[in-house]
Chains A and B, each alone.
Chain A
Amino acid sequence: MKPTDIAHPDYFHKVVDCQWACPAHTPVPEYIRLISQGRYDDAYLINWKSNVFPGILGRTCDRPCEPACRRVRVEEGSPEHRKAHLKPEAVAICRLKRAAADYKGDIRPRLPKPAPKGNGKRVALVGAGPASLTVARDLAPLGYECVVFDGDPKAGGMMRTQIPKFRLPDRVIDEECGYILDLGIDFRGGTRIDSMAALLEQGYDAVFVGSGAPRGRDLDIPGRQAAAKHIHIGIDWLSSVSFGHTTSIGKRVVVLGGGNTAMDCCRSARRLGGEKVDVVVRSGFDGMKASPWEKEDAQHEGIPIHNFLVPRAFLHENGKLTGITFDKVEARYDDKGRRELVPTGEPEVRFECDDVLVAVGQENAYPWIERGLGIEFDRWNMPVVDKATMASTRPGVYFGGDAAFGPKNIIWAVAHGHDAAISIDKHCRGEDVAKRPGPTFLLVSQKMGIHEWSYDNAITSDKRHRVPLKDTVIALKDIRQEVELGFDARLAFAEAQRCLNCDVQTVFTDRLCIECDACVDICPMDCITFTANGDEADLRGRLRAPAVNRTQDLYVSGTLASKRVMAKDEDVCLHCGLCAERCPTGAWDMKKSYIEMSHCGDTPRVHLPKSAPAPAVAEAAE
């Protein structure tokens, strides 16, 4: 293999698994260290810059970072975990973010100020959800006049209408949307845009569409029309609950669907009078689209989840819903690994119920965008959008969030918003929108003295700390009562210590190495090998511990005096720095890599030809 090019920001970025997996590439270990130092303001601002809604995301994020967390892979090799048959668990990154938001002081003086003078450019933003607000936040301080339209009276979009208040209280939404609206945004609540052509005629320099995926999928089975009064579309019902239009539901409720919306529906139903609430899914329990923690939360509130049941018919008497019948199925996989749900032939299963919530997916709908405006749509009636620039086929019109590629989640909407803001800025300046700025990349030694580092390099064996919850009896009484209490400062510190500081990189300088093997002998994870060079497949098999995780890179040095190379498998490195402590010549050093995506208005220090796109980890709720 050729020596690894560690000067390329992507190399060390990939080592920081959480940051690489995050669509907005938030510098996670950096803010976690700040939390453990009690520097909540600084931790919050790192988040705010990168993901715009730390308090909201700290409660609701889909957390693509956590499945990626190195701690999971490391704990697979922990003797303590093995002995006690404990499941390896990620650092509670998401809930630490909330701790930063909870314990920060007044950070307003540190936020950008409204631009003193406009730059004469006007941008229209359709929808006041996370994507549009991100674009507005990035553009407004530069002097853009941002006009945000939304059908609802208050800003926040789906964050406000579809996420139940017991998970995300209004005050958090008000605070964080407020930070943005205070930048001099022209927010026009209660103004639904129903014609793109009319909007374009108003002469905006750019238009951003962040109108979400507002249409809930229906379930067309016998009895649907006859029992319509007691069958509700999940997201519509949730927003009706959110606005206080709906305040009660029948005693027996069945929720159809296995995504996060279904979990919000069932937990809301439980609080509005549903005494017996059941979730029924077509797939198996493990194949559900809902995040594992949301399933756990639902079960914790006494809601059973029934799987492998396909709805057959709604039962009704005199227009009143009485129940639903299901066919039992099982999953079979064909040669190509595709799943098929095959009826088992067992008798149908019947659930008696008073109300049904249908949460089987969401769709985009663009009746308000006229065809023939130069905005192309594909055969699924989705706009044709460039994944890097968020540009539609009409110059000056951009899409983001669920509006661009269908239902995803808040953090993706934020990432889209940042990209679209860069595009809009470039478009308005007459620059090439396709030329993207690279990230800021710093690499600085953390050595403070002999065996002293500026980070805590001892590895704790603490298990993941649970977030304290409000007592279920109290929580179920009031739909606006937040269930999670959040980490207190002590728990936040303890959880922060579980972070492995993957951004503190092991950096090897081959010309300093005397090949004494000290690093090889001390490495607790057998990451380091000195051996003859070879191609990657060959080298991966010849290391002290086989490097089987192909998603993790090998760090290979130049040729050493003995004609061998140093090869390090990044997979389960603890970043404990023992290699550097044992190194007699300083050939190993622990250097912190700080990688920050360029946002609109930043001066990027590194220019890349084309940055590799982040891996798509999270899929949308069903």
Chain B
Amino acid sequence: MTYLAKPKIHHPSLPVNALGFTRRDYEGPVSTLCAGCGHDSISAAIIQAFFDLAVPPHRVAKLSGIGCSSKTPTYFLGQSHGFNTVHGRMPSVLTGANLANRGLLYLGVSGDGDSASIGLGQFAHVMRRNVDMTYIVENNGVYGLTKGQFSATADKGSRSKRGAANDDEPIDLVMMALTLGASFVARGFSGDKEQLVPLIKAAVQHKGAALIDVVSPCVAFNNHSGSTKSYDYVREHNEAVNRLDYMPERAPIVTEQAPGETRDVVLHDGGLLRLKCLDPDYDPRNKVAAMAYLESHRARGIVVTGLLYVAEDASDLHDAQETVDAPLNQLSDAELVPGAAALEGVNASLR
């Protein structure tokens, strides 16, 4: 952390987006996390992604639980709506908010403790309900706020800062999300924004539950040799299956100069995901193959990153529930109080 507020002065050539905002306008107050925390890099990636997408800040709701990760929404999108929920309960609050006001973009920010331990049940249900949201897990494998005990995502056999080995099997949130029906599943690394920013942009534009599991080293308690979530370990064992370019609707298609096969995925809003396949055998549209690939690589200690699965014909909770198109706060009295005749009709249908 720093004691000073970040000066408002910026580079004279700092670009503005379609709304006339600079990237700096998407920042929040200065972070109070430890110096070098991976979470701060994720915050910076979120800021960049929302700036690039030219999202009006007041159209975003950021929700989080408890923990280092869940503090971070304070430090980005300072002009957006925020909700710090009870520990592990962010998914249900987000679901409720989304049902009430479908007009906002929902960004859930959580950590490995918040999502894989106390909130595991909530995590499972928000995924299987396919709530339209971007769910970012800032995953560092330890409980940083309580000084570095293993969390549920710590790999079996990895060692704590004091040398103790972890005997428990890890929970792989990516695998769980795939099993439970999430329609967009990705993994990133806080130390690689070139990969992470396009993933966030694609997830924000995706309709349905989008999970990004971001490996985010805890510099204070989990960045030593023996850790499998340190900067060094992840850099050495990171295998990206693809690189992604997000192209908004109607943007001219640029010809790829780099070699390698590309694969296009059209999003519901007409936007285009162009994947540059680093592993030509990997098809992110094939869930079964993806799961087999992930499992075999995990066994070899490899951290697979990139867009791991995307369902092209995604739908969401509103589709399933056939809810009204407008956010509830925009419904008028006439729509909310349809009158005795309508009530009569409803009652008749139930007889």
Contacts and interface: CB of A to CB of B under 8 A. Distances in A.
A76 to B, nearest CB: 4
Interface stretch (B40-48, B129-137, B149-157, B311-319): B40-48
A570 to B, nearest CB: 13
B38 interface: yes
Contact of B36 (A451, A518, A525): A518
A79 B8 contact: yes
A515 B191 contact: yes
Interface in B111-156: none
B35 A80 contact: no
Contacts of A582: 2, 35-36, 40
Nearest to B223: A514
B36 A516 contact: yes
Nearest to A77: B12
Most buried by B among A518, A561, A562: A518
A379 B335 CA distance: 96
Interface residues of B, number: 33
Nearest to A88: B12
A578 B31 CA distance: 12
Contact of A584 (B12, B36, B232): B36
Contacts of B30: 522
B11 A585 contact: no
Nearest to A526: B11
Nearest to A521: B44
B6 A77 contact: no
B38 A524 contact: no
A77 B43 contact: no
Interface string B180-208: 00000000001101000000000000000
B73 to A, nearest CB: 16
Given A451-B3, A514-B231, A517-B193, A584 B13 contact: no
A458 interface: yes
Contacts of B219: 514, 516, 584
A583 interface: yes
A517 B44 contact: yes
Interface string B1-45: 111101111111110000000001000001000111110110110
Contacts of A457: 4
A69 B23 CA distance: 26
A461 B8 contact: yes
Nearest to A79: B8
Contacts of A459: 7, 9
A46 B190 CA distance: 47
Contacts of A76: 12
A581 interface: yes
Contacts of B34: 584
A516 B191 contact: yes
Contacts of B4: 451, 457-458, 576, 578, 581
Given A518-B35, A583-B36, A572 B3 contact: no
Nearest to A458: B4
Given A561-B235, A582-B36, A584-B34, A522 B11 contact: no
A461 B232 contact: no
B44 A77 contact: no
A576 B7 contact: yes
Given A524-B7, A576-B4, A517 B12 contact: no
B71 to A, nearest CB: 16
A574 interface: yes
Nearest to A531: B194
B9 A522 contact: no
B44 A79 contact: no
B108 interface: no
A96 to B, nearest CB: 21
Given A73-B12, A515-B191, A548-B13, A522 B36 contact: no
Contacts of A516: 36-38, 41, 190-191, 217, 219, 231
A80 to B, nearest CB: 7
Interface string A440-474: 00000000000100000111010000000000000
A74 B8 CA distance: 11
Nearest to B193: A517
A78 B9 CA distance: 4
A80 B9 CA distance: 8
A73 B10 CA distance: 11
A545 interface: yes
Interface in A492-527: 514-518, 520-522, 524-527
Most buried by A among B13, B193, B219, B232: B13
A78 B8 contact: yes
A518 B40 contact: yes
A77 B37 contact: no
Given A517-B41, A521-B41, A545 B2 contact: no
B50 to A, nearest CB: 15
Contacts of A583: 35-36
Contacts of B231: 514-516
B35 A584 contact: yes
Interface in B208-267: 217, 219, 223, 231-232, 235
Interface of B: 1-4, 6-14, 24, 30, 34-38, 40-41, 43-44, 190-191, 193, 217, 219, 223, 231-232, 235
27 contacts: A75-B9, A77-B9, A77-B10, A451-B4, A514-B36, A514-B223, A515-B231, A516-B190, A516-B191, A517-B193, A518-B37, A521-B44, A524-B6, A524-B7, A526-B11, A561-B232, A562-B235, A576-B7, A578-B4, A581-B1, A581-B4, A581-B35, A582-B35, A583-B35, A583-B36, A584-B34, A584-B219
Given A515-B235, A516-B217, A561-B232, 20 more contacts: A77-B9, A77-B13, A78-B10, A451-B4, A514-B231, A515-B231, A516-B191, A518-B35, A520-B44, A522-B6, A524-B6, A524-B24, A525-B11, A545-B11, A545-B14, A561-B235, A574-B9, A578-B2, A582-B40, A584-B34
Interface of A: 73-80, 451, 457-459, 461, 514-518, 520-522, 524-527, 545-546, 548, 561-562, 572, 574, 576, 578, 581-585
